[in-house]
């Protein structure tokens, strides 16, 4: 997911994505600890997506940047 796609979403959509990514990341970490993971780079991708979403939400909360029009 690119940063422009994230900026185009509303706060509620981003909150939903954030919760899903946190669950996915937990599952990936749990899988990697208990069994061999088929794609270990997926953890890295999930962490970066999570960080991007949190950054955008923080920017909006501190009024650095508002929501972009669709």
Q: What is the pLDDT of residue 69?
A: 54
Q: Say which CATH number the domain at 47 has.
A: 1.10.287.310
Rounded mean pLDDT, 34-38: 78
Domain count, the chain: 1
pLDDT-derived band at 55 (thresholds 50, 70, 90) equals very high
Query: Nearest Cα to 12, choosing from 63, 60, 46, 47?
Result: 60
Q: Would you say residue 69 lies in a domain?
A: no
Q: Would you say residue 67 lies in a domain?
A: no
Q: Would you say residue 21 lies in a domain?
A: yes
Q: Would you say residue 17 lies in a domain?
A: yes
pLDDT-derived band at 2 (thresholds 50, 70, 90) equals confident
Q: Would you say residue 68 lies in a domain?
A: no
Q: What is the pLDDT of residue 23?
A: 97
CA distances from 7 to 22, 26, 47, 54, 61 (A): 19, 25, 18, 11, 13
Range of the domain at 27: 3-61
pLDDT-derived band at 35 (thresholds 50, 70, 90) equals confident
Whole-model pTM? 0.84
Q: Would you say residue 28 lies in a domain?
A: yes
């Amino acid at each position: 997911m690119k940063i422009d796609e994230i900026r185009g979403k509303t706060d509620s959509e981003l909150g939903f994505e954030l919760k899903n990514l946190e669950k996915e990341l937990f599952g990936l970490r749990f899988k990697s600890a208990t069994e061999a993971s088929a794609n270990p780079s997926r953890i890295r991708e999930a962490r970066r997506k999570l960080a991007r979403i949190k950054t955008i939400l923080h920017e909006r909360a501190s009024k650095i940047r508002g929501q972009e029009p669709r």
